Structure 1
Amino acid sequence: MYCFCEQKETLVLKVEGDVGADPLWCNQCSCNFDLEDIPISDELKGELMRWGNKYGKWIDWDKDKLIPNGIEMEEEHNKQGSILTEKVKKELRGKYRVKFSPSTMARGYANNQ
């Protein structure tokens, strides 16, 4: 995958949710990859997009605060992300190393309330 790293290419990907972004990134330079460019099944691409689109649902963005059960929602999101990461690893076996970067956003909001 071509990215912004000095060597212009990475073999280490991370699965990470973020608002408005596809959930696959370069683990070094944080370049966000278009899922369409990743050599995984369309089924897995769909699962990743559905998962990624749920990122941050535990935050009331208008009030900038954690919603009730927000920490539990984030924990469930992280569990699903970990499962999806294993699926990505399986499909990319031998081509890329894949890591999971769990969200910790809810805890930050909880500590500030």
Structure 2
Amino acid sequence: MECFCEQKETYELKVEGDVGADPIWCNQCGCNLDIEDIPISNTLTNELIEWVNRYGEWIDWDEDKLLPNGIELEEEHNKQGLTLTGKTKKELEGKYRIKFSPSTMARMYAHKNH
């Protein structure tokens, strides 16, 4: 997979949620990778897309504040992300090193609004 690294290719990936982005990133340069380029099953691709599309459900975007149960919602999202990272590691075993980068957005909002 091509990224912005000097060697133009990465074997170190991370699973990370963000608004409007695919859930797979180069762990070296931070480039957001096209999930269609990742050699994983369609089932896992769909699970990852569903997961990333729920990113930020713990934020009231109109009011720019954390929802009352926001920390718990984010923790649940991170648990699901960790599970999906395990599935991704299994499917890409021997080809890529993969880590999970949990969201800390709810905690940032919690501190910001106090």
CA distance in 1, matches of 2:75, 2:5: 31
Match of 1:91 in 2: 91
Match of 1:29 in 2: 29
CA distance in 1, matches of 2:40, 2:6: 25
Match of 1:101 in 2: 101
- TM-score norm. by structure 1 comes to 0.98
Match of 2:72 in 1: 72
Say what the alpha-carbon RMSD is for the aligned residues: 0.5
CA distance in 2, matches of 1:33, 1:68: 33
Compute the displacement of 1:34 (Å): 1.0
Match of 2:20 in 1: 20
CA distance in 2, matches of 1:33, 1:65: 29
Match of 1:56 in 2: 56
Match of 1:44 in 2: 44
Q: Which runs of 5+ in 2 are unaligned?
A: none
Amino acid in the other structure paired with 2:97: R
Compute the displacement of 1:35 (Å): 0.9
Match of 1:82 in 2: 82
Amino acid in the other structure paired with 1:108: M
Q: How many residues are matched?
A: 113
Q: Give the ranges of 4+ consecutive aligned residues of structure 1 lying more than 3 Å apart after TM superposition.
A: none
Amino acid in the other structure paired with 2:15: V
Compute the displacement of 1:7 (Å): 1.0
